[in-house]
Amino acid sequence: MTEPILEVEGLVKYFPVKIPAAQRLVVRQPLVVHAVEGVSFSLKPGEIFGVVGESGCGKTTLGRTILRLVEPSDGRIVFDGVDITHMKESELRPIRRSMQIIFQDPHAALNPAMTIGESIADPLLIHELATEPEAKVRALEIMTEVGLSPAEQLYTKYPADVSGGQKQRAVIARAMILRPKLIVADEPVAMLDMSIRAKILELMLELKEKYRLTYIFITHDLATAKFICDRIAIMYLGRIVEVGDSSEIYREPKHPYTQALLGAIPVPDPDRPRMKTLPKGEVPDAIRPPAGCRFHPRCPVSTVACGWEPADFLDLLDLRALDDGVRVRDEEALGSGDRFTTQGGASRIRALDPGMTAREKRSLLVLTALGSLAVGLLNALAGVGTFGLGILVILVFDLIARRESVRTDLVDRGTHGDTLRIRALDPGMTAREKRSLLALSVLGALAIGTLQAVMGVGTFAAGVLVIVVFDAIARRESVRTGLVNRATSRVRTYVAGILDAAPQPLAGAVKRITISGSEVLVEFAPSTDPGLRKVDDRDVRCVLY
Amino acid sequence: MSDTVLEARNLRVLYRTKRGPVRAVDGVSFDLRAGETLGVVGETGSGKSTLGKAVLGILPPGTTKEGELLFERKNLLTLPDGQLRRLRGKEIALIFQDPMTRLDPLMTIEDHFLETIRAHESVSAEEARERTRAALASMGIPESRLKNYPHEFSGGMRQRIMIAMGVVMRPKLLVADEPTTSLDVIVEGQILEILEDLKRAYGMSLLLITHNLGIVAEVCDTVGVMYAGLFVEYGPVRDVFKRPIHPYTRGLLASIIHLDSSELVSIDGLPPDLVTPPAGCRFHPRCPYVQDVCRTTAPEWVEYRPGHFALCHFGRDFL
């Protein structure tokens, strides 16, 4: 028996999610994308191992983590008998020659400022395995081998001047020039036109035979994978759900997800009827992947044991909300979505707002008191200010009136003639009158200010009184209990009704609906990942087997 | 026979470039009847997207347009801009390949709809909102998400939003340019189902532009196979798939890697440069059956079976 060329054990890759600083105060746990979660497999030399899945399933991350282009979060990678999981970059470098990658987009994988030939020869120079003239000779050889001919002529062409198929041949040549043992091919034909895909695949097969290469062939296209892979692993949300000989998997797919993928491929035959039941929805968010079997929310044949959880109940409510009538009824009965929380294996629905906490009330009281005092004070100050302004006006006018010239002129005009002694002009207020007026105004302004201050405090006091009285009523055990009980049992009945009308597996997975204080708890049976288990000739991750 | 909604007669579209005119569409004819789906398949650069743009009247300025493109007997090529604008979005709607770049990232989904509806009809904001709600609910998008921005949706949801926006005015013709190319196979299936349902519900016609022959087989009634700016074959889907005439169609059908494939087949060579297309039959440099006449004389557009046309000198031999 031959030694495996690659062994991957429990490989895990989490990517941290950046959260804005403000949000970090609320979100306690750091969020991570579960890109690859516990993937294990081993490859025999000369094997073509397909990794198949939809976008976001982690297949590209898996390929890159195996090559240590992305650092693994956990697990072990053994390449050619050497554990490279934690190897330093300098130690890894010579090993990298033996493991190369072919990228999906040939238009982006080649440096537009380098000629095709320079790009292909570059790895030899980077690894210091050849001088420039030697590298050129080797590049020309490999170019002819991958069908880039006439090689001399294409050597000096830039990527922009050649077709997509030629670019992908150049990318393959660049990967081949270091004589690798393992090549990770990440969607090598996805960006190419149908009529040239076959040529590239044929080339890859030829090279494999000739140099005993091992491929990890990453693709979303099951038909291509079937054609060229010896074994395939179907991935869904970071996990392998089915892995085995490709011919067997295609002959009889076992995992419902594999069946769905195969059934959904459009077949170029107008007489073939289309698959009737497609899985619902789309691949969920890898930040909060579903519990249990990750495919269960979309699975057409799910059972009660597949890992139903509170999030599924919330999804059910979202689905119901598509019907306007149902949405209005749901909202009337259950309130808006923010009254739902999930915790462990239970959905919590807060049936009734139990009111403010003692602390909230105290803070509110203090704030109200401070506020009304501040307003009163402001009012008093404003009253005094108005008064001061009045005094100023009086003083100014009085001063003008007191000026000799003005007075004389007025008096002169008033005492026209010799003998008549008539007081022609009021000489103004007496000093005493002025003092009284001043005193009165001061008292008045102060009185108004005080009144306003007192009224503010009064309003506040009235508010406090109302709060206290209502709180006292609400606190009475009988009232509270009655209200809470009525609301929660209403919610409980409603939730039970929703579950009765719900699709069977979800309803069946609900262990019980209980009332806890003012909350209704929808409890689910604890769920576990079914794990990859040996089924006949392959491994499948599904509770049905 | 049902009414023809869209009819092309010898349609040509020539882009102006420094190297000379690019013959992106070079004499294409077809009929699309009410409630039917016409698939246009071709590889990169075959001119299939240009055809879609011509129907929408969104070709870049300075493009030469010849022939006739009749929508309900109005020639779209000569229609004044104002009238074209009234048709576009209301009578003829478009779904693009990439829904992310076609939705304005600064506008909520609701605003996208309100803009579309009120550009064509003077209805109250309340009425427009009501239609938006209904259109999105029919695509499985709840009302609670109306105020969300495009980036808050998944790829499949964005495409469903685009479709909802395309059909909110109940157009007679929907042009879908690679509507599922950026989507995964299961979501692709869901979108195709939605399009089928819409066709049935509103009697809408669909012009489906795609490179995926599997999709054509599943949803189209007729298909036009495009190569180097020309329809090389056109006819009922079953005829074209089961009894293809043109060597290019045969090659294309054989090159699809599907689950029952037993060998890898490809078409040698590359599609021609459309500034200086080859003389004679445009496919002759890549054709395995090439004869002298193919190099010199352009083939005739011949109806070999009822409604089944092909552009090949030796069409009769392939029947």
Which pTM value belongs to this model?
0.79
Regarding predicted confidence, which is higher, B94 or A444?
B94
The residue among A18, A28, A72 whose CA lies nearest residue A238 is: A72
Helix (H, G, I), strand (E, B) or coil at A515: strand
DSSP for A96-142, written as a single string: HTTEEEE-S-HHHHS-TTS-HHHHHHHHHHHTT-S-HHHHHHHHHHH
Phi-psi region of A191 (alpha: psi -120 to 50; beta: other; left: phi over 0): alpha
A274, closest residue in chain B (CA to CA): B218
Enclosing H/E stretch for A435: helix A431-475
In chain A, which residues have their Cβ closer than 8 Å to the Cβ of B213?
A: 194, 268
| Most distant pair of Cα atoms in chain A: their distance | 149
In chain A, which residues have their Cβ closer than 8 Å to the Cβ of B255?
A: 194-195, 197-198
| Residue from B44, B100, B185 whose CB has the most chain A CBs within 10 Å, to mutate | B185
Mean pLDDT rounded to a whole number for chain A: 83
Specify the pLDDT at position A338. 63
- Determine the average pLDDT of the residues in A246-255: 93
State the angle between helix axes of A431-475 and A358-402 in degrees (0 to 180), rounded to the nearest 10. Answer: 170
A55 with B187: Cβ contact below 8 A: no
| Residue A325 sits at the chain B interface (C-beta within 8 Å) | no
| Residue A273 sits at the chain B interface (C-beta within 8 Å) | no
B242 with A195: Cβ contact below 8 A: no
Using CB atoms, pick whichever of A194, A202, A324 lies closest to residue B43: A194
In chain A, which residues have their Cβ closer than 8 Å to the Cβ of B242?
A: 270-271
Regarding predicted confidence, which is higher, B206 or B151?
B206
In chain B, which residues have their Cβ closer than 8 Å to the Cβ of A268?
A: 213-214, 216-217, 241, 253, 256, 258
Please say whether the beta carbons of A370 and A446 come within 8 A.
Answer: no
Rg for chain B, CA atoms, rounded: 20
Q: What are phi and psi of A204, to 5 degrees?
A: -60, -40
Distance in angstroms (rounded) separating the CA atoms of residues A539 and A533 = 5
A282 with B144: Cβ contact below 8 A: no
Contact partners, residue B183, CB within 8 Å, separation at least 6: B155, B156, B159, B191
Distance in angstroms (rounded) separating the CA atoms of residues A393 and A229 = 100
Chain segment A349-375, per-residue pLDDT in tens? 665 555 555 566 666 677 777 777 777
Specify the pLDDT at position A31. 82
Please say whether the beta carbons of B175 and B207 come within 8 A.
Answer: yes
Interchain CB contacts (distance < 8 Å): A and B: 130
Distance in angstroms (rounded) separating the CA atoms of residues B25 and B13 = 5
B264, closest residue in chain A (CA to CA): A198
Specify the pLDDT at position A423. 45
Specify the pLDDT at position A429. 59
Write the single-letter amino acid at B212. N
Peptide bond into A526 cis (omega under 30): no
The residue among A238, A173, A181 whose CA lies nearest residue A200 is: A173
| B30: DSSP letter | E
A275 with B189: Cβ contact below 8 A: yes
Write the single-letter amino acid at B3. D
Contact partners, residue A411, CB within 8 Å, separation at least 6: A424, A425
By mean pLDDT, which of A41-55, A131-145, B247-261 is the weakest?
Answer: B247-261
Specify the pLDDT at position B230. 95
In chain B, which residues have their Cβ closer than 8 Å to the Cβ of A274?
A: 189, 218
| Residue from A267, A287, A315, A324 whose CB has the most chain B CBs within 10 Å, to mutate | A267
Q: Tell me the pLDDT band of B314, cut-offs 50, 70 and 90.
A: very high
Chain segment B21-51, per-residue pLDDT in tens? 999 999 999 999 999 999 999 988 899 999 9
Chain segment A508-538, per-residue pLDDT in tens? 888 888 887 777 888 888 878 888 999 999 9
Tell me whether strands A231-236 and A48-52 are parallel, antiparallel or unpaired: parallel
B217 with A268: Cβ contact below 8 A: yes
B88-125 b/e with 16+ CB inside 10 Å = b?
A: bbbbbbbbbbebeebbeeeebbbebbbebbeebeeeee
Specify the pLDDT at position A47. 95
Query: Which residues 118-177 of chain A have a CB within 8 Å of chain B?
Result: 163-165
| Residue A367 sits at the chain B interface (C-beta within 8 Å) | no
Chain segment A65-77, per-residue pLDDT in tens? 999 999 999 999 9
Q: Tell me the pLDDT band of A312, cut-offs 50, 70 and 90.
A: confident
DSSP for B211-278, written as a single string: S-HHHHHHH-SEEEEEETTEEEEEEEHHHHHHS--SHHHHHHHHH---TT--S-----S-PPPSSSPP
A267 with B187: Cβ contact below 8 A: no
User: How far is residue A485 from each of residues A354, A477, B118, measured CA to CA in Å?
Assistant: 12, 12, 49
ipTM: 0.85
Residue A521 tokens, joined: 């708890």
B140 with A322: Cβ contact below 8 A: yes
Write the single-letter amino acid at B148. N
| Residue A15 sits at the chain B interface (C-beta within 8 Å) | no
B43 with A195: Cβ contact below 8 A: yes
| Residue A324 sits at the chain B interface (C-beta within 8 Å) | yes
Distance in angstroms (rounded) separating the CA atoms of residues A136 and A118 = 8
Tell me how close the Cα of A310 comes to any Cα of chain B, in angstroms: 20
A260 with B267: Cβ contact below 8 A: no
A389-411 b/e with 16+ CB inside 10 Å = b?
A: eeeeeeeeeeeeeeeeeeeeeee
| B130: DSSP letter | H
Rg for chain A, CA atoms, rounded: 42
Please say whether the beta carbons of B88 and B57 come within 8 A.
Answer: yes
Chain segment A156-181, per-residue pLDDT in tens? 999 999 988 899 999 999 999 999 99
Query: Side-chain half-sphere of B27: how many Cα atoms within 13 Å?
Result: 8
In chain B, which residues have their Cβ closer than 8 Å to the Cβ of A197?
A: 255, 257, 266
State the angle between helix axes of A431-475 and A477-501 in degrees (0 to 180), rounded to the nearest 10. Answer: 60
The residue among B155, B221, B164 whose CA lies nearest residue B198 is: B164
A270 with B192: Cβ contact below 8 A: no
Using CB atoms, pick whichever of B156, B215, B216 lies closest to residue A282: B156
In chain A, which residues have their Cβ closer than 8 Å to the Cβ of B187?
A: 282
Chain segment B285-300, per-residue pLDDT in tens? 999 999 999 999 999 9
In chain B, which residues have their Cβ closer than 8 Å to the Cβ of A250?
A: 259
Please say whether the beta carbons of B232 and B318 come within 8 A.
Answer: no
A264 with B186: Cβ contact below 8 A: yes
Please say whether the beta carbons of B95 and B162 come within 8 A.
Answer: yes
Distance in angstroms (rounded) separating the CA atoms of residues A177 and A123 = 7
Q: What count of residues does chain A have?
A: 545
Contact partners, residue A383, CB within 8 Å, separation at least 6: A445, A446, A448, A449, A452
Residue A240 tokens, joined: 């392998």
B258 with A223: Cβ contact below 8 A: yes
Write the single-letter amino acid at A341. T
Distance in angstroms (rounded) separating the CA atoms of residues A340 and B174 = 41
- Determine the average pLDDT of the residues in A303-330: 85
Q: Positive or negative CA dihedral for A194, A199, A204, A206?
A: positive
Regarding predicted confidence, which is higher, B43 or A476?
B43
Regarding predicted confidence, which is higher, B154 or B51?
B51
Distance in angstroms (rounded) separating the CA atoms of residues A229 and A216 = 9
B215 with A266: Cβ contact below 8 A: yes
Please say whether the beta carbons of A292 and A36 come within 8 A.
Answer: no
A323, closest residue in chain B (CA to CA): B137
- Determine the average pLDDT of the residues in A436-458: 75
